[in-house]
Structure 1
Amino acid sequence: MLTRSQSSCIEFRATNISLELDQYLPHEQYASRLVFQIRDFEIIDNVPTSVWRKFMGHMRADGQPRETKSSMLRIEMLNVRPSPGTSPAEEMRLKVQLLPLRFYIDQDALSCLLKFFSFEDDTVPKNPGRSKTEDNTFFQWVQIEPIQVKLDYKPKHVDYSQLKDGKLTEIMNFFHLDGAELMLERVRLHGIKGWVKLVENLVREWLPHIQKTQVPRVISGVSGVRTLVNLGAGIADLFTMPIEQYKKDGRILRGIQKGTRAFAKAATLETIKLTTQLAVGTQVLLEHADDILSSDKDDQASGDGGMGREAVSKYSDQPKDVREGVGLAYRSLSRNLGTAAKTIMSVPTNMYDRGGSQAVIRAVPSAVLKPMIGATEAVSKTLIGLQNTIDPDKRLQMEDKYVACAD
């Protein structure tokens, strides 16, 4: 079972790092060639208040199977001599490739990450008179292949003071993003001096593209809007698939069948998703009510009152299919019904005979709420199992997203 690191809030993981360097003779046009590759690179969210596990990683499944032995990051740098044999000057050709990226961004984890990169050690003496080394790197050309990004974002609080100061990025904390998509187009730049200028030119190329073409894709990821978008895509398949199939081979009936299946799958998955959210939300409310109504001072004195426990989502450790979901539902319902029965039977009847009705009253909330908690959890587990049966890729994404429950 996966557990969270207790020593760090954010953890960086890189596996299968390879570096290949070729040196050429002084009189040749090529001076050197360097290929740097990382098979997998992940940012793990260990913030205690976050129920999400992986801040960033490769976009698993989602209809795009990963090629065997493909690297998540590949950087190729080729140093060339414009005038071999007459001048030692070298210029660089840079090519960068990234596999599709998946982000699960919790606001607390994002704040931790920003603080880490903006940290300045005040104990280190500063020398303002020291001149900065000039960056003489010259790029003949730089090519960044298209970068596909999909992200979830969970806001937790809004800083209204920053909003009043005109920082419009704070508006994002009003919206919960669920599967927002972003595609950064291929960029090819020529004749750039220095790494700083390179970054500035990349931002200058990408920003207008994002503003003109990507904003609607991001807005479609707002929680609630995503459901409408998915249903709309399913409805569109009803009409586009028959037309495409007819143009392909003239079999319009086959196209109608494919379109109907696509729409039925989209409608079913969205219905399951909304019903599951309702069941999980109801379960959480009932559990809070049970904690409040059946709180015990002795329990609080012997424990931490629930403080300091690792946050775990109700969507963690999902069933693989509907069969496993039904099994988990049965165990949940049996466990909560057994707890309710045990609570009722443990009330001393002689206390009631002596007028001590307080014990009976305190047993009522658990007797009523526990079966309801078990029923809502049973519904959610069954529906999640059904969803993962219809769309197995969904379970792989949830394994990346949510922190696993501790045994």
Structure 2
Amino acid sequence: MNFKHKVALFSGIVVEWFENMAFLLLAAQIGQVFFNQTSYDEGQGLIPFAIGCFATFLGAFYYGYLADKKGRVRSIFNTPIIMGLSSFAMIFIPSYATFTYSWVLISIVRLFQRFVVAGENGVISIYVFENTKVGRQFRNNYFSEAAVLLGILLATFALYLVTLYSSNAHVQFRIIFIISTILSLFVFIIRKLFLFDKYLDDKKKYLHKNISSLKINESSLRDIIKYSIIVMIIWSIVPLSFFYKFSFLPNILNNSFHIENSIILKNLTLSMLFQLFVMYAVSFIGDKILKRNIILALGFIVPLLFYAISFLYFGQILQFYIYDFGYVFSPVLLLILLFDLIPMQIRCTAFNIGFNLIVTVYSLLTMPLYTQLYNNFGWFISFLPVLVAYLLSFVCFFYLIHKKKVNLA
């Protein structure tokens, strides 16, 4: 896999997270333009985003199964053009003043967006893992995580610049999705130029002997459900840790994020640059340690150690970065181990379903859970869900490793 292939693959993840972050940051504008609010209303503005999450489950299954059945590259080769068409449609959605049910239109378009992008991140990460030799897998998949952060930063900076240009909420919304359309078209062209050989390879022979006969029968369906649940349990540590960080730790991003605030934007940028640095360092360590048991131990012990240290007060900014170090440590190390332990024939389907389901569910339920625990029992007890998630995740990994050893024996 050369540099051009990586650019063609990871640029799609950038656009996916650009759109996700843009929708979140535009919640206030969406509430004002499409829900007839006299002032910014972030609550109603998030309704289309929440509705779009329902399509995530279908998209995760469809693109995961397509990747397992037809080949990894074939499943995501044309997704940028569909993302681009969805973004293009956003530009022409009328406001509430013009059409009363405009919020229905934006929700429908969002459904298409989420259906398409549900498979992008997982399938690409798995494809890179499967086509990288041992000793480079962690560093190559680092670019997948980096692409997520780059997409978030691009959306944040884009909206910041747009707010400087115009104070009209509808204009801001349209400009952002014009940018999204251009980015999607750009990614589609890049994939046509740089990834077409891999597309043809998938079409003719990629994984032909292994998975061309895969069918959703009773046995494979049971395996998909089982491994999807395992992925959900293991990956729950990521959203739980993330939402805890932004709920109760002293936050350098401030309690109320306003995109117009350049200081907040600077702090967000510094935080993500720090995450990029830590993730690369961790991925480098992962490639140098060939024993999976050691990697597994580091993936659990180091984050919990830094979480514990973060409870000691060192000042707001330092405390935030200490927690951040632990937060980014686990996904980088554990993702590769997880890919290695899921059977190849159902790897994309199981991971896509489990990953998208847990992120969506926890996005909706975690904040109320933390709030209840914090209000009733205090700061330390509110951290309990994170500890439970790590314990269950470790148990699942132990089960998968033991199962693989038994199968090999």
- Kindly name which structure, 1 or 2, has the bigger radius of gyration based on alpha carbons: 1
> Which one has a larger percent helix, Structure 1 or Structure 2?
2
TM-score by shorter chain over 0.5:
no
What's the TM-score once normalised by structure 1's chain length?
0.29
> Which one has a larger percent strand, Structure 1 or Structure 2?
1
What's the TM-score once normalised by structure 2's chain length?
0.29
